[in-house]
Amino acid sequence: MPLRILTAGESHGPALTAIIEGLPAGLHLDREAMDHQLARRQRGYGRGGRMQIESDRTEITSGLRFGVTLGSPLTLTIANRDRENWRERMAVWEGSDDDPVRVPRPGHADLAGALKYGHRDLRSVLERASARETATRVAVGAVLRQLLAEFGIWIGGHVIRTGMAATGDSFRTLPADNRKQYETLIRDLCGRAAESDVGCGDPETAEMMKKEIDNAMAAGDSLGGVFETAALGVPAGLGSNGMWDRRLDAAIGAAMMSIPGIKAVEIGLGTEAASLPGSRVHDPILSAAPPFPGRGSNNAGGIEGGISNGQPLIVRAAMKPIPTLTGPLPSVNIETGEKTGAHRERSDVCAVPAAEVVGEAMLAIALADALIERTGGDSLDRMKRGLDI
């Protein structure tokens, strides 16, 4: 894949870092747009105290000159303001921790990570396993969204379930036979969701979601949920049927599944398609002319045969409940073997609205990679000339 991305950084280390290699030259970056995406990730009813401490901003230390990409690796850094409280316990050189974490949280990386790396202080696992890491993904996504926008590609999303509270509003049920109207309806849904602190544009369901979160918080419990992500303006021809690792659905699936806590990803109708006859699933072809082939519906979610088909991309992802509980589940001290309640760390009760923003970033990464592959990369001009359909 032409785009190479590395991220690094512990939750309470000095900073988070990302390097993007393979970005074309000639892309004007808007700094405000990047910080706007980071602020969106920090939103959400049911988030923990950490989000009040951090107010993320991106510093760029390579790959940019006068606000324009050079084609060389772009390095992004986000400072951890909470670092001040952790200087001793998370020191890079000399330091000490008089309160090591010994009791793994069921559902988090603590136990599996300790077994893998041999750590006896679980903090050495959980600092990187913390979803603080997703701030770098959102920063990378914020750069790549600007690249995609040069090609008329737009990404948005909304939350459709928090615990048992769910809305019937879905990209899946919107009429897709009139392209302009379909795209307007998708944008409207996302626009309404952006106003909501649970990421849901249906006010009645949003209230129910908040109640679910309040109840979970009062019970020392946590919640997961489901979000949908859409990409508009995606040209036909991204990805390939030719080999499994070049399929666009596989790339999007991997990108979304890599978000901490995501346990299922669907494209288009997803699992629902398995119980319906073909006549009700497959989208009639009404005209084949690019750039907007006419289809009667979009149950395929914009991908057929691993290739984008010119329709909006529709993705859904399900997140498990947050593993850190204030009413902790049974666990075991890994040093003494004593049975006790799992470790508690300052935590979100529900992070689905934030995960939705991370989902948009991951979709941007998968699409930008496929677009650079399709168009040759190197410079923005060359990419635009390379897109000949």
Ligand X SMILES: Cc1cc2nc3c(=O)[nH]c(=O)nc-3n(C[C@H](O)[C@H](O)[C@H](O)COP(=O)(O)O)c2cc1C
- In the complex with ligand X, the residue whose CB is nearer, 309 or 324, is 324
Q: Cβ of residue 354: shortest distance to ligand X, in angstroms?
A: 4
Which among 102-110, 140-148, 305-313, 336-344 is the span making contact with ligand X, rule CB under 6 A? 102-110
Subset of residues 342 to 361 that bind ligand X, contact rule: CB under 6 A = 347-348, 351, 354-355, 358
Neighbours of 326 (CB within 10 A): 15
The count of residues interacting with ligand X (CB under 6 A) is: 19
Please, are residues 141 and 364 in contact by the beta-carbon 8 Å criterion?
Answer: yes
Q: Would you count residue 134 as binding ligand X (CB under 6 A)?
A: yes
- In the complex with ligand X, the residue whose CB is nearer, 46 or 306, is 46
Cα–Cα distance, 284 to 277 (Å, whole number): 14
Q: Cβ of residue 48: shortest distance to ligand X, in angstroms?
A: 5
Q: Cβ of residue 238: shortest distance to ligand X, in angstroms?
A: 25
Please, are residues 59 and 42 in contact by the beta-carbon 8 Å criterion?
Answer: no
Q: Tell me the two tokens of residue 44.
A: 């959400």
- In the complex with ligand X, the residue whose CB is nearer, 3 or 109, is 109
Among 131, 147, 230, 362, binds ligand X (CB under 6 A): 131
- In the complex with ligand X, the residue whose CB is nearer, 155 or 372, is 155
Give the position of tokens 């041999």: 118
Beta-bridge mates of residue 266: 316
- In the complex with ligand X, the residue whose CB is nearer, 10 or 283, is 10
Subset of residues 311 to 330 that bind ligand X, contact rule: CB under 6 A = 322-324
Among 40, 108, 161, 316, binds ligand X (CB under 6 A): 108
Q: Cβ of residue 87: shortest distance to ligand X, in angstroms?
A: 22
Among 74, 209, 259, 300, binds ligand X (CB under 6 A): 259
Cα–Cα distance, 279 to 322 (Å, whole number): 39
Cα–Cα distance, 22 to 14 (Å, whole number): 26
Please, are residues 87 and 115 in contact by the beta-carbon 8 Å criterion?
Answer: no
Q: Cβ of residue 15: shortest distance to ligand X, in angstroms?
A: 18
Pattern 38-77, ligand X, x by CB under 6 A? ----------x-----------------------------
Which among 27-35, 72-80, 104-112, 148-156 is the span making contact with ligand X, rule CB under 6 A? 104-112
Cβ contacts of residue 340 below 8 Å, gap of 6+?
Answer: 103, 330, 331, 332, 333
What is the DSSP code string of 46-70? T--THHHH-----EEEESEETTEE-
Among 199, 261, 310, 377, binds ligand X (CB under 6 A): 261
Among 125, 129, 139, 140, binds ligand X (CB under 6 A): 129
Q: Would you count residue 136 as binding ligand X (CB under 6 A)?
A: no
Cα–Cα distance, 130 to 127 (Å, whole number): 6
- In the complex with ligand X, the residue whose CB is nearer, 201 or 261, is 261
Q: Would you count residue 260 as binding ligand X (CB under 6 A)?
A: yes
Q: Give the 3-state DSSP-derived string for 232-296, with helices as H, strands as E and coil as C.
A: ECCCCCCECCCCHHHCHHHHHHHHHHCCCCEEEEEECCHHHHHHCCHHHHCCCEEECCCCCCEEC
CB-facing half-sphere around the CA of 284: CA atoms within 13 A: 6
Please, are residues 280 and 209 in contact by the beta-carbon 8 Å criterion?
Answer: no
Give the position of tokens 């935590």: 347
- In the complex with ligand X, the residue whose CB is nearer, 42 or 240, is 42
Q: Cβ of residue 147: shortest distance to ligand X, in angstroms?
A: 23
- In the complex with ligand X, the residue whose CB is nearer, 143 or 354, is 354
Site residues, ligand X (CB under 6 A)? 48, 107-109, 129, 131, 134, 259-261, 322-324, 347-348, 351, 354-355, 358
